[in-house]
Amino acid sequence: MTGEPPKASPTRSPTRSPKSPEQTAEQQEQAQIVAHQAETTIEAASFEDDGYGTDNESRGSTSISSSVRDYAFEHGRRYHNFRAGRYQFPNDDAEQEREDMKHAMIVNLCGGKLHYAPLDEPQNCLDIGTGTGIWAIDLGDEYPSAEVLGIDLSPIQPSWVPPNVKFMVDDAESPWLHPPNTFDFVHCRHMASSIKNWPKLLGEAYKKMQPGGWIELQELNFETQCDDNTMKDTYAVARLLSFVKEGLAVFGVDLLSMRKNAQLLRDAGFINIEEKIFKVPLGIWPKNKTMKTVGLYLRSSIYDGLQAITLGPFTRGLKWTLEEIEIFLIDVRRDLMDSSTHSYIPFHVVYGQKPQEPPATA
């Protein structure tokens, strides 16, 4: 990684996560119900519950930053310019809102938890592909004695951040210039659509981590699933994700690489690996209030982001025209808003530890 000073957007302040240090008994009970349903079966609401079938929420508007410095523009959307073309999705205000919404979705699903690795007073943390920096900022708040560094190709992080949080423009897939044994926690979330060479990246992380340090990978497994046969074979959202996967493959990115994350960590030398899989409902079909909110966030992040999600993979990768994309998206929008389909997308959390002692050589 080669560091460059960040040029943060001065106008944004991040959406904070909904966690609070002192949860009421009711909030704790809600969190337990959500955690249980996320790992087992999500209970669907009925029309009697709240008439979800008529819901028509989630229409975001697109606003594009007027800044023309340090960015590339294509089809009216703004992209990163440092190592241009490496990441296929925009970095403008609309996309940042979407990323913050995904953060809220995950912390709601995880009962406010930012990580599952059993950290004990971490001191030196790294967030790979930090995006808007919202997770790094929350981690800095949670561990005031830790230094948190967030790196990203885009200088889109806010400048008003806790004093223990820093951001840097950097390419995580370049050799890391940090000294060995630097980090005691490395975190990487929603990066399956970005990283081309996971073994190389995890090898760099291993070298630069302290013995006993933890690494955690959190990824959506981008294939829609369903437990009650309400998802038809023609479900357009499934086709959307499949085309995104195909389009990213043109750039050497495997969108479903995260299925191998536990093995990838093992291969890199990490031990004590644990994996947790949660169900993220797509839409407002769940009965539970928090699950419904999580589902609304996921649906909104896809619905409002359809242009952002498709432009790069479909036009650059699959060579579709804008008209072809728009026609295809008619079915996707319709199916996204259909709450009689009880679909969900799995969310995988995998963490592992760098051994205290180097492995014995034969």
Ligand X SMILES: C[S@@+](CC[C@H](N)C(=O)[O-])C[C@H]1O[C@@H](n2cnc3c(N)ncnc32)[C@H](O)[C@@H]1O
Residues found near ligand X in the complex (CB under 6 A):
80, 86-87, 91, 99, 103, 129-131, 134-135, 151-154, 171-173, 189-191, 194
Paired tokens of 98: 């979407």
Q: What angle do CA 152, 154, 157 make, to 5 degrees?
A: 80
CB closer to ligand X out of 184 and 219: 219
Q: What is the spatial distance between Cα 23 and Cα 264, in angstroms, rounded to a whole number?
A: 36
CB closer to ligand X out of 129 and 295: 129
Give the nearest distance from C-beta 64 to ligand X in angstroms. 17
Give the nearest distance from C-beta 332 to ligand X in angstroms. 19
CB closer to ligand X out of 193 and 339: 193
Give the nearest distance from C-beta 196 to ligand X in angstroms. 8
CB closer to ligand X out of 204 and 338: 204
Give the nearest distance from C-beta 25 to ligand X in angstroms. 30
Residue whose C-alpha is closest to residue 62's, from 20, 26, 95: 95
Residues with Cβ within 8 Å of 25's Cβ and at least 6 positions away in sequence, in order, are none
Q: What is the spatial distance between Cα 232 and Cα 139, in angstroms, rounded to a whole number?
A: 40
Give the nearest distance from C-beta 269 to ligand X in angstroms. 22
Give the nearest distance from C-beta 238 to ligand X in angstroms. 20
150 forms beta bridges with 127, 167
CB closer to ligand X out of 313 and 342: 313
CB closer to ligand X out of 142 and 173: 173
CB closer to ligand X out of 45 and 220: 220
Q: What is the spatial distance between Cα 60 and Cα 306, in angstroms, rounded to a whole number?
A: 11
Q: Which residue is nearest to ligand X (CB)?
A: 131
Give the nearest distance from C-beta 357 to ligand X in angstroms. 31
Give the nearest distance from C-beta 361 to ligand X in angstroms. 32
Give the nearest distance from C-beta 198 to ligand X in angstroms. 11
CB closer to ligand X out of 44 and 308: 308
CB closer to ligand X out of 142 and 152: 152
